[in-house]
Structure 1
Amino acid sequence: MRAIYGYCRISTAKQCISRQIRNIMAIYPDAVIVQEVFTGTKVKERPEWMKLYTKVLPGDTIVFDSVSRMSRDADEGFRLYEDLYRKEVDLIFLNEPHINTKTFRDAIAHGNIEMTGTKVDSILQGVNQYLMELAREQIKIAFDQSEKEVKDLQKRTKEGMQTARLQGKHIGRPAGPARETQKGVRAKKQIQKYSKDFGGTLNDMEVMKLIGVSRNTYYKYKRELNSFVEVS
Structure 2
Amino acid sequence: MGKYYYKTSAETKRNSKTFDNLQNLYPDIVLIEGSTEDLINYREKIKTGSTVYFNDYFKLLDDFKEDSRFFMFFYMECYYANVDICFINTPECNISYIKSILNTLDIHPRDGETELVVRKLIESNIKQAKINQSMAFNLKSTALQTAKENGVQIGVKKGTVFKNPKADSLKEKIKMHSKAFNGNMSDVELIEKLGIPRTTYYKYKREIKHNKKTAK
Question: Is this a same-fold pair by TM over 0.5?
Answer: no
Give the TM interval when normalised to the shorter protein. 0.3 to 0.5
TM-score of the two chains, using structure 2 as the length reference:
0.44
